[in-house]
Amino acid sequence: MKGKKILVGVTGGIAAYKTPLLIRLLVKAGAEVRVVATDSAFDFVTPLTLSTVAKNPVESEFFDEAGNWNNHVELGLWANLFVIAPATANTIGKMANGLCDNLLLATYLSARCPVAIAPAMDLDMLQHPSVQKNLKTIAEFGNHIIEPTEGELASGLEGKGRMAEPEDIFKFLSNILNA
């Protein structure tokens, strides 16, 4: 992990509160971390928390107020590995279908590095045929799916849909880089 450039994508699921823990593990292991987030992600975790643990600003808009654009192509090519954690049903659907209405998705389409996603959602959302189809499509693109785990969900229901724990995502990413 030391010296590796890891791009962390954050989308708007409740599990985003765990993403700073993942970033911290990556930074502690010597990785350089940049973060790209959807607008919705900031309903669940602040840009200040993400940028503080990553030691880099968080990018989320195509361009700033001065009209300077955030170069998603540069961001995608910079990374040795792109991990999206959590990955919402919404973002998974867009990834599977080549949609590009935010900086995270534009970066995904531009990235040449390995991509891993950690889906997190309620059990019925996860089991829905459309989500399962989209996950299969993304896996067929060659992207890695970090399986959600079973347990108590934010809805109060029990089942599969919890984002993998940050330590397990870290191990998964280490294995990709060491492969």
Contacts of 151-155 spanning 24+ positions with Cβ under 8 A: 153/122, 153/123, 154/14, 154/122, 155/122
29, 4 Cβ separation under 8 angstroms: no
Judged by CB under 6 A, the stretch of 28-36, 50-58, 64-72, 117-125 that binds ligand FMN is 117-125
Shortest Cβ 4–ligand FMN spacing (Å) = 25
- Choose, by CB under 6 A, the member of 14, 23, 111, 146 that binds ligand FMN: 14
Helix residue ranges, H only, the chain:
19-28, 47-54, 72-78, 89-96, 103-110, 123-127, 129-140, 166-178
19 binding ligand FMN? (CB under 6 A): no
Q: What single-letter amino acid sits at 139?
A: A
Return the DSSP state at 165: P
Residues 139-178 that bind ligand FMN (CB under 6 A): none
Entry field: residues in the chain:
179
Minimum gap (Å) between residue 174 Cβ and ligand FMN: 25
In the complex, least distance from residue 11 CB atom to ligand FMN, rounded to whole angstroms: 3
Among 5, 21, 27, 40, binds ligand FMN (CB under 6 A): 40
Amino acid at 118: A
Residue 6 or 103: the one with the smaller Cβ distance to ligand FMN is 103
Pick 9 or 76: Cβ nearer ligand FMN: 9
Only one of the segments 24-32, 107-115, 119-127, 137-145 lies at the binding site for ligand FMN (rule: CB under 6 A); that segment is 119-127
